[in-house]
Structure 1
């Protein structure tokens, strides 16, 4: 004997659907209203959307009274959609810089203001000092050669001790540092630091230089709230000749710091800032 087929279960009454709808969040309600025409009518009920709209956007409740005079009146679901769109547009969209690190060239130079204390040793021979001060050394580094750390901060360490020339200066000597950022192809230049100061006396002490940069209103708050260019000279005691009053420059560290947090800004924020001055389409 053939087994009789069971009739399909009847759908739940509409009253149950409305009870469930009262406990749904706005996103689920909007999704459920797309199932079919009957669900759309049920899920678009003003009884469901009015408390959600009033709780989420109390500043827009005056729109409900003004829209009641229109024909047909604007539903609370529609008013909620207007409020949601307006709130999303008020939030600044995260922007990505057009400028990339490989588009930049860093040019860093250090000059001594006292020629009696500074010298450059090349191949063990001291170069003749001139009356006109000249840079002790100049580093040209293309952005594509810079190593980006895992946190993607706008901070870069450059080794200057692996060349033929060794830069030796007197501990505590007054020096002038200049850091320029050049747009590839020599299309634009922006000076990050141009200032003077003293190099630390103690071995392994760093010469730290910083200079506040002009504001760029188009940038994220981390940058537009105040930005400082940062440059550190990594030095160590010079062992040549047993002298203790000389230090050797081994590295240069450059970066951009936020005045608000006093932390290094992200790579993207730093590029956005430089883009404003170098490549602002």
Structure 2
């Protein structure tokens, strides 16, 4: 008798599972995402990749290709890809619509580049010294007092074995500090310099929690004598590989500093 009850319960559970699957297949992405938060049983059904594959390919037909399959694999599956793109889309809209209270002039940038115990450069720049176009990408030409390792050979810097890049941001009138980058990872050598990238701290204004798709970028430009000549600073959106606008970057910093 007990085995018959268990079998009946199993059949009922299987039937409910398939019924939920049919219902969920009629939902759009946001609705399905909310449904998976209702209870454990709904989540077990709602996270099925087949459901999210159907939603993603309907919304973005380009995913139904070899290149699209590679993108899905890199993102960790259709469900994670939808979450990333949906959140990024709405975050971009928020940042475009919301006017940040911070200004570029209110920010202070602190950058240090070292190799072991030797300082290649160390400088502080205020935002008004970096202002230019509408894109958050700046190139800082170094002064004599900011360059220590002028005599280093290019080959040693290009090896990038022990190069450490530290980039922090402060707001004038506040004692808060945000560490944008603190990297000892090898960068990519490009022409007469190299670039370092590090994932930005997650924030709801830019990306879904745990799914950061934005990078901080620091580039090191070398002079003809092998010394460090300039440093570039930027924030990068990896969904479309474009640099943040000034407004988007200021909104991001504003949320990080003041919530």
Task: Give the TM-score band, short-chain normalised.
Answer: 0.5 to 0.7
Deviations 1:140-165 (A, max 9, x none): 0001111322xx00111100145474
Name the CA distance, whole Å, in 1 between partners of 2:145 and 2:124. 13
| Distance change in 2, residues 1:218/1:148 (3 Å) | same
| Distance change in 2, residues 1:165/1:260 (3 Å) | closer
The CA deviation at 1:179 is: 0.3
**In proportion to residue count, which structure has more helix?**
2
In the other structure, the counterpart of 1:155 is: 137
What is the count of residue pairs matched by the alignment? 158
Name the CA distance, whole Å, in 2 between partners of 1:256 and 1:164. 23
1:135 to 101, 119, 141: 119
| Distance change in 2, residues 1:279/1:230 (3 Å) | same
| Distance change in 2, residues 1:173/1:101 (3 Å) | same
Name the CA distance, whole Å, in 2 between partners of 1:153 and 1:184. 22
In the other structure, the counterpart of 2:175 is: 187
* Bigger radius of gyration among the two: 1
In the other structure, the counterpart of 2:227 is: 248
| Distance change in 2, residues 1:159/1:256 (3 Å) | same
Name the CA distance, whole Å, in 2 between partners of 1:164 and 1:179. 15
In the other structure, the counterpart of 2:149 is: 167
In the other structure, the counterpart of 1:85 is: none
Deviation above 4 Å: which 4+ runs of structure 1? 161-166, 197-202
Q: How does 1:252-263 map to 2 (within 5 A)?
A: 252-263=231-242
Name the CA distance, whole Å, in 1 between partners of 2:197 and 2:165. 10
Structure 2 alignment gaps of length 5 or more: 1-92
Name the CA distance, whole Å, in 1 between partners of 2:246 and 2:102. 11
Name the CA distance, whole Å, in 2 between partners of 1:209 and 1:227. 13
| Distance change in 2, residues 1:155/1:111 (3 Å) | same
| Distance change in 2, residues 1:162/1:200 (3 Å) | farther
The CA deviation at 1:184 is: 1.1
SS at 2:218 equivalent: strand
Q: How does 1:181-220 map to 2 (within 5 A)?
A: 181-198=169-186, 204-219=191-206
The CA deviation at 1:102 is: 1.0
Name the CA distance, whole Å, in 2 between partners of 1:106 and 1:209. 17
TM-score, reference length from structure 2: 0.54
1:107 aligns with 2:110: yes
CA RMSD of aligned residues (A): 2.7
